[in-house]
Amino acid sequence: MGEKTFHKASLIRDKAGYVPSLVEAVQFHGVRVTKNDALLKEISELYKSATLDELVQKSHLAARHLQEVGLMDNAVALIDTSPKSKEGYVVNFVVKEPKSFTAGVKAGVSTNGDADMSINAGKQSFAGRGESINTSYTYTVKGDHSFNISLAKPFLGWQKYSNVSSTLYRSMAYLPWNQANVDENALVLQYNGQLWRQRLLHSVKLNTIWRTLRATDDSAFAVREHAGHTLKFSVENSVAADTRDRPILASKGILARVSQEYAGIFGDASFLKHQIDLQAAAPLPFNFILAASVQAKSLKALGENEVHILDRCYLGGQQDIRGFGLNTIGVRADNSCIGGGASLAAVVHLYRPLYPPQMLFAHAFLASGSVASVRSRDPIQQLQDTQRVSAGLGLTFIFKNIFRLELNYTHPMKYVVGDSIFRGFHIGAGINFL
């Protein structure tokens, strides 16, 4: 028996671009419920590999895609030579399928800063083609609670990143900025895909929401006149370019997103809403990260009635203009904030990684924002005249790139008489932060 010859990895890597390859077989190890047709759609491109280098790259992409579309929890591609031919190769995927059923209970902090508890359960790839079903029930210490059930189905294929989903939910919450309660029953259908050779992210949503606004003894008349049942049917369209290295706290890259919402096909709501989101981040010397976010909204009624108070533009809170009460920036009526027809917000951040460096950051910020009335004849001028400004220092914690927690000392620097301002330490939690 002849002895095997071993070569340095760098030597093999340098020559891989010139070595012809012929994929003779692709095998999966660890598959129990995933369907064969789903696997074939995911790996068919491997058979078109002309060189070993191309085969290695495509095998890596296929393994990652199997996980990202929900077919597998873990996938590793191993490439071996074929005993049948000199140029032949066999690709082996060692995979771990999703658990048949997941369930859990967790405690946390809601967007409003209230403690909450949620019970969730789900099943991933339940039909063997990446489908998922998830349910959750959330309850806060102040009495808000919500229930939702969602279904999602990915479109499988080589490097396809698109899916359709449907969500049915019911929520009952108290809106402190309106001094009112709201009940919502909704069905949301959504498509997520890509445009322009996968350079742009595209999303379309169909919303059907039955809402009930219940005024309290503290509600202003401007809130009471919107009380009662309303039906909202709207279509949302969003196109975005995203080059950030991670979505929650990026160290480099940009996000540019333009979205529109149209309501008025049927139902009580009738408006057109435009929104622009811009984010950018860049590394600085000594491991500092400079980041900035800008968000602009414009809302116009299409019917004779004013836009409903639940559909208006709001600002304020630990996720945008920190140092101000949640959704309290803008036009006020007595002790209630009634939102506006346009808003503009901008935040500049300076981050410094601590330990662990990918999870904990020192954080300083400067934020500014304003809201114009739905009846304003010159919203741009009103946005300029009613700016609020705040600054602060604190800590930011990122959990597995899916959740962000901030503890900041905030100091409102510019505000309008009657604003709900908060100096001192405050907690912000969630996903979407300016």
| pLDDT tens per residue across span 367-416 | 999 999 998 889 999 999 999 999 999 999 998 888 899 999 999 999 98
Write phi, then psi, for 318 (nearest 5 degrees).
-75, 0
Give domain limits for the chain.
Answer: 9-96, 161-430
Return the CATH fold of 9-96.
Ubiquitin-like (UB roll) (3.10.20)
Mean pLDDT of 95-123: 81
Q: What is the pLDDT of residue 110?
A: 61
**Mean pLDDT in the chain?**
91
pLDDT at 224 over 80: yes
> Could you tell me which of 429, 390, 396, 427 has the C-alpha nearest to residue 410?
390
Percentage of the chain beyond pLDDT 70 is 94
Mean pLDDT of 254-260: 98
Higher-pLDDT residue of 7 and 328 is 328
Q: What is the pLDDT of residue 105?
A: 87
Strand-strand pairing, 88-96 and 22-29: parallel
Q: How confident is the model at residue 238 (pLDDT cuts 50, 70, 90)?
A: very high
> Could you tell me which of 413, 411, 407, 412 has the C-alpha nearest to residue 394?
407
Mean pLDDT of 300-311: 90
What pLDDT, in 10s, does the model give residues 12-40?
455 566 778 889 999 999 999 999 999 99
Element (H, E) at 59: helix 52-68
d(CA 232, CA 208): 6
What count of residues does the chain have? 434
Take residue 163 and report the two structure tokens written for it.
């899916």
Higher-pLDDT residue of 249 and 20 is 249
pLDDT at 157 over 70: yes
Strand-strand pairing, 163-175 and 180-195: antiparallel
**Model confidence, pTM:** 0.89
pLDDT at 11 over 50: no
pLDDT at 276 over 70: yes
Mean pLDDT of 91-113: 82
CB 46 within 8 A of CB 111: no
**Highest mean pLDDT: which range of 42-46, 222-226, 346-350, 385-389:** 346-350
Q: How confident is the model at residue 192 (pLDDT cuts 50, 70, 90)?
A: very high
One of 2.90.10.10, 2.40.160.50, 2.60.40.10, 1.10.580.10 is the CATH number of 161-430, namely: 2.40.160.50
Higher-pLDDT residue of 257 and 217 is 257
Element (H, E) at 411: strand 403-414
Q: What is the pLDDT of residue 3?
A: 54
Residue type, 367: A
> Could you tell me which of 190, 191, 185, 152 has the C-alpha nearest to residue 169?
185
Mean pLDDT of 242-265: 94
Q: What is the pLDDT of residue 135?
A: 96
Mean pLDDT of 144-160: 94
pLDDT at 71 over 80: yes
What pLDDT, in 10s, does the model give residues 166-188?
999 999 999 999 999 999 999 99
